[in-house]
Amino acid sequence: MKWGILAAGTIAAKFARTVNAMTGEGETLVAIGSRNIEKAKGFAGEHGIPKAYGSYEELAADPEVEAIYIATPAATTVLSHRARAASASSNPSWAEVLCLISEFTTWASFT
């Protein structure tokens, strides 16, 4: 699966290390989105991610991204991220946003 990561903090770094260890299983990181482009670029360089975006909407609109790991710790922001990702996505094959928050897991389908 081709992953995008939304946010560039500690949780995102743990996820990036995990996915990078799974490349032999077909998992790969293709993009990072942050509210700060410089932070996204630094994170991308540190974790070998080819694309960095300065907004969550840009990440969601990337046609190469198949799933997005939402790496924000505040559960109250999840609905906002989901809504923005769904409205920004122009990729018809982009059917699911995977939302993993520290306390729970939830799937949201956008078909």
Where in the chain are the domains?
Answer: 10-109
- The reply to whether the predicted model has a pTM over 0.75 is no
Q: Say what the pLDDT of residue 87 is.
A: 54
Q: What pLDDT digit, counting tens, does each position of 63-87 carry?
A: 999 888 888 766 445 555 555 555 5
Q: What is the overall mean pLDDT for the chain?
A: 77
DSSP string, 7-73: --SHHHHHHHHHHHTTGGGT-EEEEEE-SSHHHHHHHHHHHT-SEEESSHHHHHH-TT--EEEE--S
CATH 1.10.600.10 applies to domain 10-109: no
Q: Say what the pLDDT of residue 103 is.
A: 36
